Amino acid sequence: MSVLNTAQRNAVQELLRVSPVADELGRRFGAAGHELHLVGGSVRDALLGSLGDDLDFCTDARPERTLELVKGWADAIWETGREFGTIGIQKNGLRIEITTYRAESYDGVTRNPTVEYGDNLLDDLRRRDFTINAMAVSLPGHVFTDPYGGLEDLAAQLIRTPSRPEESFGDDPLRMLRAARFAAKLRFTVDPGVIAAMTAMAADLDRITAERIRDEFTKLLSGADPVGGLRLLVDTGLADRFLPELTGLKLEIDEHAQHKDVYEHTLIVVANAVRLEGEAGPDFILRMAALMHDVGKPATKAVGRDGRVSFHHHEVVGARLTKQRMRAMKFPKDVTSEVVQLVALHLRFYGYGRGEWTDSAVRRYVTDAAELLPRLHKLTRSDCTTRNKRKAAGLSADYDALEERIARIEAEEDLARVRPDLDGNAIMELLGVPPGPIVGQAWRYLKEMRLDRGPMPRDEAEAELLRWAREQGHTP
């Protein structure tokens, strides 16, 4: 047991005051002879003053008994986690998960946990990932239980395991990744003993499915301090198990081929992207593009006769590597496609400052980015990490000018919906052809004309189409 100070006791009481559902649920379980405790992240978040609408409970009741106790009381019930001992319910707008005391572990070979039910609260808390998630409040009695010092670790902003870290990570290797995720989410420090175990046991992460790793990594990158979490992944070797491209950014820098530290540059770009999100964040797609934007550099590094280092076409190679890695991590196709497109486009802007861009080039920039343009603006600005104040100011001014130019052309031409000046029906009517490949070829030709020259009068567009048709042998 641990003694709560006044502020902490008030935090728990406030949680219970605004959530009368918890006491009501506790009374239902108590009347049936069962224990019920608010537990884990719910207690942690209440103490941190950031409790949401999701509440986690644990009980000695088995899932089938829990179902009996909540039927007719809950507004909705779902049993998707029943095989793992969890019953989900909804009540008065709250999402509640009730889990039977567990002794969950891995057998060291398969990727799925073996679920064994426990019979007491202390053992259940011991098998949890970290001490800050191993606190409980009984219902309806409101007794606070903290057998592993979670309250002290919360005050010290420390991530530590209830049992030996080697034992905890042996039970579930994903907890190593969760340590980095909580470091990113809460800005907490990871206990040195935990870091040592993460480093020694990094290879055990290979026992975890790509989907579970993906989900934890997504939460890490979406945290308040993703850079801290990313550094921990690299320093412990965990990144090598599922995102080796990140560690690969640590290119050798020697006295004959100086270039900026790509790894450190990338972490700064991620931090810049987080800052530019504003109140709309976190934006995983933007953050992932910032993380992956230079992963093509190791494969494209070249040293010229003058000793200068170049990375020609690293954005093309980087886009390909990003696609491969995100596929391997089982990201949805639409998320992968958007990140890959941002990586492919992130270098396009750097020709603008030389004054070579025509209005046609601006139209293509906007059209290629499409709905990703706001993110591309942020990514490109985030990528400016030079310490040369004059150069940084110049790049910023150049991008300001580009955005102003885009705004001007958009006001004149509606760049968000660039289409040929003639649609498919008009093309078929003018050329006298049925639906088919010719119509698609003509449409693409007219779109290129539209991008090059801007909007054209209908008679001019028709004349261009007929000229193209004659050249292609499609004269009506």
pTM of the model as a whole? 0.81
3-state secondary structure of 228: helix
pLDDT of residue 110: 57
pLDDT of residue 268: 95
pLDDT of residue 117: 87
pLDDT of residue 311: 83
Among the residues of 293-358, which ranges form H helices?
Answer: 297-300, 314-328, 333-345
Q: Mean pLDDT check: name the lowest of 67-76, 296-305, 402-411, 414-423.
A: 414-423
Tokens of 237: 């070797």
Interval 84-125: pLDDT, tens: 899 999 999 899 999 999 875 556 565 555 668 888 999 999
Q: Mean pLDDT check: name the lowest of 175-184, 362-371, 465-474.
A: 465-474
* 161-242 CATH, one of 3.40.50.300, 3.40.50.1100, 1.10.110.30, 3.40.190.180: 1.10.110.30
pLDDT, greater one: 470 or 421: 470
Q: State the SS3 of 230-288.
A: HHHHHHHCCHHHHCHHHHHCCCCCECCECCCCHHHHHHHHHHHHHHHHHHHCCCHHHHH
β-pairing, 144-145 with 136-138? antiparallel
Percent of the residues in the chain that have a pLDDT greater than 90, as a whole number: 54
- In sign, the C-alpha dihedral spanning 334, 336, 337, 339 is positive
Residue 64 reports pLDDT greater than 90? yes
pLDDT, greater one: 415 or 374: 374
Interval 342-401: pLDDT, tens: 999 998 887 666 666 777 788 878 888 888 999 999 999 999 887 778 888 878 888 888
pLDDT of residue 300: 86
Alpha-carbon separation of residue 428 from 55, 381, 463 (angstroms): 61, 44, 14
pLDDT of residue 75: 95
Q: End-to-end distance of the chain based on CA atoms, in angstroms? A: 89
Mean pLDDT (the chain, rounded): 86
Phi, psi of 71 (to 5 degrees): -65, 135
Phi, psi of 73 (to 5 degrees): -110, -45
Q: What is the mean pLDDT of residues 205-220?
A: 96
Q: What is the mean pLDDT of residues 299-322?
A: 86
Model confidence band, residue 175 (pLDDT cutoffs 50, 70, 90):
very high
| 93 contacts 56 by C-beta, under 8 angstroms | no
Q: What span, in angstroms and rounded, lies between the C-alpha atoms of 325 and 331?
A: 9
Q: Which CATH class is domain 1-156?
A: alpha beta
In the block, which residue shows the tokens 């990703």? 372
Q: What span, in angstroms and rounded, lies between the C-alpha atoms of 165 and 175?
A: 9
Q: What span, in angstroms and rounded, lies between the C-alpha atoms of 243 and 225?
A: 18
DSSP classification of residue 116: -
Residue 29 reports pLDDT greater than 90? yes
Give domain limits for the chain.
1-156, 161-242, 261-417, 424-472
pLDDT of residue 2: 46
Percent of the residues in the chain that have a pLDDT greater than 70, as a whole number: 86
Model confidence band, residue 255 (pLDDT cutoffs 50, 70, 90):
very low
pLDDT of residue 35: 97
Residue 407 reports pLDDT greater than 90? no
pLDDT of residue 109: 60
Which conformational region is residue 102 in: left (phi greater than 0), alpha (psi within -120 to 50 degrees), or beta?
beta
β-pairing, 54-59 with 94-100? parallel
3-state secondary structure of 345: helix
pLDDT of residue 254: 44
Residue 289 reports pLDDT greater than 80? yes
| 251 contacts 259 by C-beta, under 8 angstroms | yes
DSSP 34-63: --EEEETHHHHHHHHT---SEEEEEESS-H
Q: According to the per-residue pLDDT averaged within each range, which of 98-112, 184-198, 395-409, 416-430 is highest? A: 184-198
pLDDT of residue 400: 87
pLDDT of residue 1: 39
Interval 129-147: pLDDT, tens: 999 999 999 998 888 899 9
Q: What span, in angstroms and rounded, lies between the C-alpha atoms of 152 and 225?
A: 22
Q: What span, in angstroms and rounded, lies between the C-alpha atoms of 39 and 249?
A: 40
In DSSP terms, 114 is beta-bridged to 105
Contacts (Cβ under 8 Å, ≥6 apart) of 342: 285, 286, 289, 293, 372, 375, 376, 379
Q: What is the mean pLDDT of residues 200-209?
A: 96
Contacts (Cβ under 8 Å, ≥6 apart) of 92: 21, 75
* 261-417 CATH, one of 1.10.1740, 1.10.10, 1.10.3210, 3.30.450: 1.10.3210
Phi, psi of 427 (to 5 degrees): -65, -45
Interval 447-464: pLDDT, tens: 777 766 677 777 777 777
Residue 77 reports pLDDT greater than 60? yes
Phi, psi of 20 (to 5 degrees): -60, -20
pLDDT, greater one: 435 or 454: 435
Q: What is the mean pLDDT of residues 211-228?
A: 97
| 86 contacts 97 by C-beta, under 8 angstroms | yes
3-state secondary structure of 432: coil
